[in-house]
Amino acid sequence: MIGSLRGVVLDRTPPSTLLVEVGGVGYRVTVPVPVLGAAELGGPVFLHIHTHVRDDAIVLYGFASRDERGCFEALIGAHGVGPGLALAILSVHSPMGLRRVVVGDDIEALTLVPGVGKKTAARLLIELKSALAPGDDDDLVVVVDGVGPSARSEVRAALSGLGYGADEVREAVRDLPDDGAVEDLLKTALQQLAAAR
């Protein structure tokens, strides 16, 4: 089994494939969107690999960190979650963000992922509680970059309800200031989204 790859990026194929040359051999690796975005053509790359063996193919999934790979493996261990959906979840939520979602029972945050409805999100939250337990970071749920999870959740839900895509919502929420009321945070997020368009 391949556990990691260190090489050069030969090609990037959106939405999620890198061609990585290692010792003269090109490996096609499926990666989360943030990893694809960070990879530069001709640049060096190091990926933690999950080798997925199916009846008809062997697929390599690559991640920027061991933690990200661990989250992927926890996700595909959940009932009804295949590699494609696990990758989609990690394209929307970082490992730390996903732990915050699980600890905070944030169904709305999971439904930002294409293909995840409220029933699937509720089931996933239950299944992932033990697999993605934060351990000693129990204050994880109290403050997220200075903003309480309920405020972030409300802003996410509002933006999603206004028709913004998952990528736009993720970017807008990530760039929120450290403090403020939900109304102010939403106004700031909307201004950032308007400027980006």
The per-residue pLDDT for range 170-191, each reduced to its tens digit, is 788 876 765 567 677 777 888 8
Average pLDDT for the chain: 82
Q: Tell me the average pLDDT across 28-54.
A: 92
For residue 27, pLDDT beyond 90: yes
For residue 10, pLDDT beyond 70: yes
Distance, CA of 71 to CA of 81 (rounded, Å): 12
How far from chain centre, in Å, is Cα 93? Answer: 3
What is the predicted pLDDT for the residue at 5?
95
Distance, CA of 1 to CA of 34 (rounded, Å): 24
How many Cβ atoms sit within 10 Å of the Cβ of residue 146?
Answer: 11
Predicted confidence (pLDDT) per residue in 134-154, tens digit: 544 443 433 334 444 456 666
Q: Tell me the average pLDDT across 71-97.
A: 90
Dihedral (CA of 126, 127, 128, 131) sign:
positive
What is the predicted pLDDT for the residue at 133?
59
The model scores a pTM over 0.85: no
State the DSSP H helix or E strand holding residue 9, giving kind and residue range, or none if neither. Answer: strand 4-13
Distance, CA of 116 to CA of 121 (rounded, Å): 6
Residue 21: pLDDT band with limits 50, 70, 90? very high
Q: Domains for the chain: give ranges and CATH numbers.
A: 4-64 (2.40.50.140), 66-140 (1.10.150.20), 143-197 (1.10.8)
Instruction: Output DSSP code: residue 101.
Output: H
Using DSSP's 3-state secondary structure scheme, residue 147 falls into: strand
